[in-house]
Structure 1
Amino acid sequence: MSTESLVDDLRSARQALEDAEAAVAAIGEDQLERLRSARDDLLSLLDSYEGRATGSGDFQAYLEFQEAVADHVEDLPEDLPEREVFEAIDESFEKRRLSESDFDAARDALGPVDDLVDRLGQREQAHERYRATRRDVESRLREIDEEIDRLERVATLADADLDAPVDELREPMTSYNDSVADAFTSFKRDDPARDVLAFVEATRSFPLARYPDPPDDLAAFLADASVGTEPIPTLLEYADYSRSKLEHYVDQPQTFMRVVGGNRTYFDRLDAEPLQFEWPPAPADEVRWRADELVSVVNRFAPDSVVEQLERVHALARDEPHYEHLRLTARAREELSQAERERVAAGAVGDDIEALESERERLTTALEEY
C-alpha cells in the first residue's frame, strides 16, 4: 500500500472515530448504557415468556409476563431516551390473548432503540479500525527503518572490488571449517562421552569459542557412572534398548533412560559449529581474537593439521588491509543482488535512502496529526 493510501486511511479512520464519539456524546454514554440494559432486559423477558404466554397456553405465565413488562417499563428512568417505545410495547401487550406475532412486533418496535444503542458498537468498531490503521502505519515505518538499515549496509559495499581474489580468504576458512568438523565428528564418535562433555564444559573459559552448557544432570551422571566411558553413539544405541535388555549394559538403567535418553536432542545437536568461522567473514580484529581462543580449544581434540589450518586463517587476519579488502568483496558478492550491484555502481542507493526517509517523515507526521 502506498504512503498516501496509508495516510488517507488514517485520516479517514480518525474522522470516523471522531464522528462515532460525537454520536455517543450527543446522547451520553451513561444514557446509552442504561438504554442498552433496558432493551436487553426486555428482550430477555420476550424470549423467556414467548412460548408460554401465547395462544391458549399457560394463563398464569400470561399474567406474569404482562406484570413483568409493566414493572420493567415503570422502573425505567423518566429521562431515558426512547422511553416511549417501551411504553408503547407495554400497551401493545394489554390484550386478552397474545400471539407470536405480538412478540415479533415488539422486537421490531425496538428499532429506534437499537439505532441508538448501536452507536456504542459503532464507536468500538471505529476505535478498532483506527487502532488497526495506526498499526498498519507503524508496521510500514518498521519496514522502512529495516530497509534503510539494509540500504546503508549496501552503501558501505560501494567501494568493493568485485574482481578481487576472494578465494584467498575463502579457501583457508573453508578448509579449516571442514577439517575441524571432521575432527569433532571423530572426537564425538570415538572418545568417551564424559571426555566430550568435559571438553564442552572447558570451553566456558573461552567466550569466543564457547559451547552451550550440557544439562547438569547429564554431565554429572556421565562423570561418575561407568557407562560414561562409552562413546556417545554407544550411549544413544543403549537408549533405544528395552529396560530388560538395558540392565545387562548399564548399572542404573532407570536413571540412564531418564538422563541420557531424555537428552538425545542435546547430543544430536552437538557439532563443530561453535568452532567454525562464518561466511562472509567477520572483521579482521574479531577473527584474530577468536582464532587466538580457538587454538587453545581445538588442540584439545584435533590433530596438528587442523590447528595449522587455523593458524593460516589467523595469519590472514593479521594482514588487516588486505584481509578487509577481500572481506568487502566477499560481502558484496554474498549480500548484493545483481540489481543492487548495478544501483550501487550507479550511485542510486543514496536516492533510495532519501526517498525512504521522506516516506518515513510523511508517515510519522501523519501519526502525530491523526
Structure 2
Amino acid sequence: MSDADDAVESLRRAAQRRREKRERVAEIGEEELRRVADAADDVETVLSRYEERATDRDDLQGYIDFRESLSSVLESLSSEIRHADAFVEANNALTTGVTSTLSSSDFEHAREALEPVRTDAALLDSWQSARDEYKKARRAVKDRKRELREQIDRLERVRELGAADLDAPTQNLREPIEAYNDAVTEAFDEFLADAPARNVLEFLETTTAYPLVEFPALPARLRDYLESTSIGSEPVSVLVEYADYSPSKLDHYVADSQSFQSAVGTNTRLLATLSADPLTISWPPKSASALRWRARELVAVVGRFADEETVAQARTIRALTERDDYSRLRDAAVARESLTEDQRARLQRGEVEAELETKRAEVERTEAALDEYLPLDE
C-alpha cells in the first residue's frame, strides 16, 4: 500500500469514527450532554476540594463547608437533567446519619454513582477528539497530494530533459558565453583596480536602472563621502586597505579618520567583495527570451567601463538567442548538467513513465477522498 493509500485509509477510518460519535451525540443531544458534563465537572470539583477535610474527624467546619458547597451545586441542577437519579444517589452516599463523619469509601461510592454522568461527559470529549482526528487525517491527505504533485513535476521535468538531443553541439553556446565571461571579468577587474572609487560607485549607481544586472545597493553615506573628499580618487582596493589601518596610521592618509571609518570602514566587506559576477552569464543559460533581455542590459552596462571588443562580445550573447537552434542547444546543455546517470538509465528502462502513471493514479485517489470527505464546518 502506498503512502497515499495509507493516508486515504486513515481518513476513511477517521470519518467513520467521527460519524459514529456524532450519531451518538445526536441521539442524546449536544446541549443536554454539555449540561451533564458541566454538572459532572462542578460536582467533581467539590469532591476533590473537600474530600480530605470532610473525612477528617477533627474538622467539623470542613464537613459543613463541603455539604454547603455540594448542596449549592446540586440545587442549581434542573430536576429534569439527564441522569438526575445518579446525582441523587451520589448525594445520598455523602449524607451522614447521626454523625458528621464521612469516609473515603463514601466518596468512592459517590463517584461510582456518577459513572453514567462521566460516561456522557467522556462522549463529548471523544466526539471532539474524533473531529480533531478527522481534520488531521484530511490534512495528511492534502499534504500527500501536494507532495505527489511536486514529485510529478520533477518526474515530468526529467522526462522533458530526457527528450533533449544530448548529442547537440552545445559548445556553440558555451564557447561564446565563456569568452564573454572571461572578457567582462578581466575588464571589470581592471576597472576596479584602476578607476577612482567614486567613479566605481557612480557606475554601480547607474546599474540600478537595469534590474537584470544585480549589483549590491550602495549606502548614500558612502557615495556622498567619496564624492566630497579627495580620498574618493583612490581605487577601491586602496580604500579597503586603509580601512584596516589603526587610527594613528590612518591620520596620515585621510583628513578625518573618524569620518572615513564611519563611511568606508563600515562598508569594507561590500567594497572588498565587488566582482564581475552580476555581469556574467550562467551555464546552462536561461531561456532565449530571458537571456535576450539580460544581454540587452549588459550591452548598455558593460559599455560604461569596458572596451568595444568586450561590448561586441556582449552583443554576440544577444545574437545567440536569435539562433534557430538555440532552444535545442540550451535544452541539451540543461539536460547534460541536470540529468544524473541514474535518471538517464531509468528513462531508458521506461521507469520514469511508469512512476508518473503511478503518481498520477495516487493523486486521483487523494482527490477523490478529499471530495468525499469534506472539511468540517468550523
Q: Does the TM-score normalized on the shorter chain lie above 0.5?
A: yes
| 1:330 match | 333
Query: Residue 324 of structure 2: SS of its match in structure 1?
Result: helix
AA aligned opposite 1:62? Y
- For 2:190 and 2:72, the matched residues in 1 are separated by 88
- Structure 2 contact 215–278 (Cα < 8 Å) conserved: yes
Tell me the alpha carbon deviations over residues 199-248 of structure 1, each in whole angstroms, 9 at most, x when there is no partner.
33312322322435445565556655776666666666777789999899
The question of 1:313 aligning with 2:314 is answered no
Q: Is this contact kept in 2: 1:189–1:233, CA < 8 A?
A: yes
Q: Distance in 2 between matches of 1:292 and 1:268?
A: 28
How much does 1:312 deviate? 4.2
Q: Is the 8 A contact 2:36 2:81 kept in 1?
A: yes
Structure 1 unmatched ranges of 5 or more: none
Greater mean deviation of Cα atoms: 290-299 or 215-224: 215-224
Partner of 2:206: 202
Q: String of CA shifts for 1:44-93, please: whole Å, max 9, x gaps.
A: 22333234333134322210111110121121122322233222222222
- CA contact under 8 A between 2:4 and 2:145: conserved in structure 1? no
In the TM superposition, what are the counterparts of 1:46-195 in structure 2 within 5 Å? 46-95=47-96, 96-107=100-111, 109-177=113-181, 180-181=184-185, 184=188, 194-195=198-199
Q: SS of the counterpart of 1:94? A: coil
| Shift in alpha-carbon separation, 1:18–1:311, aligned structure 2, 3 A | same
Q: Which residue of 2 aligns with 1:24?
A: 25
Which stretch shifts more, 77-86 or 193-202? Answer: 193-202
- The answer to which of 213-222 and 15-24 deviates more is 213-222
Distance 1:106 1:261 in 2: 80
Q: For residues 244 and 101 of structure 1, what CA distance do their matches in structure 2 show? A: 89
Instruction: Tell me, in whole angstroms, the C-alpha distance in 1 between the residues paired with 2:95 and 2:74.
Output: 13
1:30/1:246 CA distance change after superposition, 3 Å? farther
2:291–2:318 Cα contact (<8 Å) kept: yes
Distance 2:243 2:90 in 1: 77
Identical residues among aligned pairs (%): 42
| Residues in 1 aligned to 2:167 and 2:294: alpha-carbon distance in whole angstroms | 28
- 1:67–1:347 CA distance, 2 compared to 1 (3 A): closer
For 2:289 and 2:120, how far apart are their aligned partners in 1? Answer: 71
The amino acid across from 1:323 in the alignment is: Y
Structure 2 CA distance, aligned partners of 1:89 and 1:245? 92
- Cα distance in 2 between the residues matched to 1:366 and 1:284: 42
Q: Secondary structure at the match of 1:207?
A: coil
Q: Distance in 1 between matches of 2:233 and 2:111?
A: 82
Provide the rounded CA distance (Å) in 2 between the counterparts of 1:215 and 1:145. Answer: 44
Q: Are the equivalent residues in 2 in contact too, given 1:192–1:228 (CA < 8 A)?
A: yes
**What value does the CA root-mean-square deviation take over the aligned residues?**
3.7
Contact (CA 8 Å) 1:247, 1:253: kept in 2 or not? no
Query: In 2, are the aligned partners of 1:250 and 1:256 still within 8 Å (CA)?
Result: no
Asked if 1:3 is matched to 2:7, the reply is no
The answer as to whether partners of 1:13 and 1:133 remain within 8 angstroms in 2 is yes
Structure 2 residue corresponding to 1:369, chosen from 342, 359, 372: 372
Give 1:156 deviation, angstroms: 3.1
Distance 1:171 1:101, change over 3 A: farther
Structure 2 match to 1:13: 14
Do the aligned residues in 2 keep the contact of 1:316 with 1:323 (CA within 8 Å)? yes
1:280 matches 2:284: yes
Secondary structure of 1:157's match?
Answer: helix
Report the counterpart of residue 289 of structure 1 in structure 2.
Answer: 293
Structure 2 length normalisation: TM-score? 0.80
- Once the two structures are overlaid, the 10-residue window that deviates more, 130-139 or 300-309, is 300-309
The residue matched to 1:14 in structure 2 has which SS? helix
- The answer on 1:341 being equivalent to 2:344 is yes
CA shift in 2, pair 1:133/1:217, >3 Å: farther
- Deviation of 1:17 (Å): 1.3
| CA distance in structure 2 between the aligned counterparts of 1:301 and 1:65, rounded to whole angstroms | 93
TM-score normalized with structure 1 length = 0.81
TM-superposed deviation, 1:367: 1.0
Rounded Cα–Cα distance in structure 1 between residues aligned with 2:54 and 2:267: 69
